[in-house]
Amino acid sequence: MLGAVLFSIGAVGVFTQRNALIIYMCIELMLNAVNLTIVAFSRFLNNLDGHVFVFMIMTVAAAEAAVGLAIIISLFRNKATVNVDEINLSKG
C-alpha cells in the first residue's frame, strides 16, 4: 500500500517537474517504493530472496545515479540549462 502511494507520487513528479535533477530524484523515489514493496512481500512470505533482489536494485540505482548525474553535468556545460523542455538534441 505505502509502496504504491510512494510510487504514484514519484510518477507524478516525473511527469510534472521540468528540472532534470528533480526528475532523477523522483526516479530514485520510485525505485525505493519498489524496494519497500519487495521487502514487505519478502517478510510476509518468510523468504530471503527478496532481500537479495533489493540489494541488486540498490546497486543498479547507484550506478544509474552516477552515470545520469555525469550526463546532466555535461549537458549543463553544453546547453547551460537543466530544463528538459529546452534540451532537444535529438532533432539533429
Q: Which of 3, 11, 7, 20 is nearest to 80 (CA)?
A: 20
Q: List alpha helices for the chain, DSSP H.
A: 2-16, 20-44, 49-79
Closer residue to another protein in complex, CB, 80/92: 80
Q: How far apart, in whole angstroms, are the C-alpha atoms of residue 23 and residue 9?
A: 12
Residue given cell 528533480 in the structure block: 22
The C-alpha angle 56, 2, 9, rounded to 5 degrees, equals 85
Q: Which is nearer to another protein, 15 or 92 (CB)?
A: 15
The reply to whether 79 sits near another protein by the rule CB under 8 A is no
Q: Is 91 in the site for another protein (CB under 8 A)?
A: no
Among the listed residues 58, 79, 90, 92, the single contact to another protein using CB under 8 A: 58
- Site of interaction with another protein (CB under 8 A): 1-2, 4-19, 21-22, 24-26, 28-29, 32, 35-36, 39-40, 42-44, 46, 48-49, 51-52, 54-56, 58-67, 69-74, 76-77, 82-83, 85-86
